[in-house]
């Protein structure tokens, strides 16, 4: 969620920022198809795999992939849950903004399952560190993988890397990566913003 605070300010109000399109709607769609195919390669029928969208922004990507796997690749019974990491973050009481929690919804057992974390942007890796702690409170997964649409290179604070990535981006300093989804932001696109 830290990422979402830093990376996705209310962009509509920040028109003065210069922004560059990293992925347009077609490219997002292509990346999603590739990610879906890579997931199928590793997880076959998904019989022992569960998808976990990281709140708040990872759930759009997770829902999109679930729909794609079901409708276009005809994989039945995909299990998808949402995981909120607010109470596991390492910056509670250190940030200016108070942290707001979101809903955690895992209606399945994660014990001995292959868990795939899904988030839109991998930045410092701290959210994923929190998610790894959080998921343990629901059981001991067989393994945990990470899928992310955008992987910001050179900005990691922790030794965490994605297993599946849509696009790798070199974003430095105060540049921000913003992922928009049709159902939430009106369009599918990824922008790089300079402030």
Partner 1 sequence: MELSVDHLLGIKYITEDDIQLIFETADHFKEVINRPIKKVPSLRDITIANLFFENSTRTRLSFELAEKRLSADVINFSAASSSVKKGETLIDTVNNILSMKVDMVVMRHPNPGAGVFLSRHVDAKIINAGDGAHEHPTQALLDTYSIRERLGDVAGKKVVIVGDILHSRVALSNIFALKKLGAEVKVCGPKTLMPKHIESLGVKYEPSLIKALNWCDVANMLRVQNERMDVSYFPSTREYTQQYGVNKNVLNNLDKEIVLMHPGPINRGVEITSDVADSKQAIILDQVQNGVAVRMAVIYLLAAKINRGVAIH
Q: Which residues bind partner 1 (CB under 8 A)?
A: 2, 6, 84, 86-88, 91-96, 98-104, 133, 136-139
The CB-of-164 to partner 1 minimum distance in angstroms stands at 27
The CB-of-153 to partner 1 minimum distance in angstroms stands at 18
3-class DSSP state for residue 85?
coil
The CB-of-104 to partner 1 minimum distance in angstroms stands at 6
**For 100-160, where are the E strands, in sequence order?**
114-122, 143-152
- Partners of residue 144 on adjacent β-strands: 115
Q: How far apart are CA 184 and CA 164, in angstroms?
A: 23
Q: How far apart are CA 147 and CA 170, in angstroms?
A: 18
Nearer to partner 1, 114 or 126 (CB): 126
The CB-of-183 to partner 1 minimum distance in angstroms stands at 23
How many residues in the chain? 195
Nearer to partner 1, 10 or 71 (CB): 10
Nearer to partner 1, 29 or 139 (CB): 139
C-alpha Rg value of the chain to the nearest Å: 16
CA 91-94-96 angle, to 5 degrees, is 115
Nearer to partner 1, 9 or 139 (CB): 139
């Amino acid at each position: 969620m830290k990422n979402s605070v830093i990376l996705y300010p209310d962009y509509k109000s920040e028109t003065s920022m210069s922004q560059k399109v990293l992925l347009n709607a077609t490219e997002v769609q292509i990346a999603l198809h590739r990610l879906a195919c890579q997931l199928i390669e590793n997880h076959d029928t998904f019989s022992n795999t569960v998808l976990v969208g990281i709140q708040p922004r990872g759930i759009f990507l997770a829902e999109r992939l679930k729909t794609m796997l079901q409708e276009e690749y005809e994989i039945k019974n995909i299990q998808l849950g949402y995981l909120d990491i607010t109470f596991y973050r390492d910056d509670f009481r250190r940030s200016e903004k108070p942290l707001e929690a979101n809903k955690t919804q895992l209606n399945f057992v994660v014990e001995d399952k292959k868990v795939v974390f899904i988030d839109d942007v991998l930045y410092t890796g701290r959210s994923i560190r929190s998610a790894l702690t959080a998921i343990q409170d629901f059981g001991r997964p067989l393994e945990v993988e990470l899928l992310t649409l955008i992987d910001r290179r050179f900005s990691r604070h922790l030794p965490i890397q994605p297993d599946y990535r849509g696009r790798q981006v070199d974003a430095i300093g105060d540049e921000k990566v913003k992922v928009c989804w049709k159902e939430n932001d009106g369009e599918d696109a990824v922008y790089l913003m300079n402030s």
